[in-house]
């Protein structure tokens, strides 16, 4: 298989008033897990160019089962909930301030302190 489970469809809505197909689980060491791009909660829009809009769940499952060896998925990544650290994106990127935003003012402050110290020493 492709290494993931799906939920949703016109007959089994995963989200109220939404007939879309979603990734419910990525199987460890399966194809999707090893590829690394698909995430739980992603919406699958198309399989091998075939739109998944308004399909019953079992029809979507059949499309995946018959997708073949080389499978192309069109997906929409889910939005990350904002209950984690500020700036957290959940995709391996660090959030928060860039390192330069901390280093540049810090270096400027250190340079000013050295300059003041040298000027003070010259007066003694």
Q: What would the pLDDT profile of 52-75 be if each residue is shown by its tens digit? A: 999 999 999 999 999 988 889 999
Q: What phi, psi does 26 have (nearest 5°)?
A: -105, 125
Beta strands in the chain (DSSP E): 4-8, 21-26, 43-47, 50-51, 73-76
Please give the mean pLDDT across all residues of the chain: 80
pTM: 0.62
85/78 Cα distance (integer angstroms): 18
Residue 83: its pLDDT value, please? 53
Does an H or E element contain 119, and which?
Answer: helix 99-123
Binned at pLDDT 50, 70 and 90, residue 76 comes out as very high
Cβ atoms of residues 4 and 32 within 8 Å? yes
Residue located via tokens 């020493």: 121
118/78 Cα distance (integer angstroms): 56
Nearest Cα to Cα of residue 57 among 30, 28, 27, 18: 18
Does an H or E element contain 108, and which?
Answer: helix 99-123
- Bridge partners of residue 73, in order along the sequence: 47
What CATH topology corresponds to 4-76? Pdz3 Domain (2.30.42)
């Amino acid at each position: 298989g492709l290494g993931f489970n799906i939920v949703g469809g016109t007959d089994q809505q995963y989200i109220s008033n939404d007939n879309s197909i979603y990734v419910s689980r990525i199987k460890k060491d399966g194809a999707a897990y090893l590829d690394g791009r698909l995430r739980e909660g992603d919406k699958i829009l198309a399989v091998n160019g075939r739109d998944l809009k308004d399909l019953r769940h079992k029809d979507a499952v059949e499309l995946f089962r018959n997708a073949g060896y080389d499978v192309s998925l069109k997906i929409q990544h889910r939005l990350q909930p904002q209950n984690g650290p500020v700036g957290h994106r959940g995709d391996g990127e660090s959030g928060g301030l860039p390192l330069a935003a901390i280093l540049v003012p810090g270096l400027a402050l250190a340079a000013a302190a050295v300059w003041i110290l040298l000027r003070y020493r010259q007066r003694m």
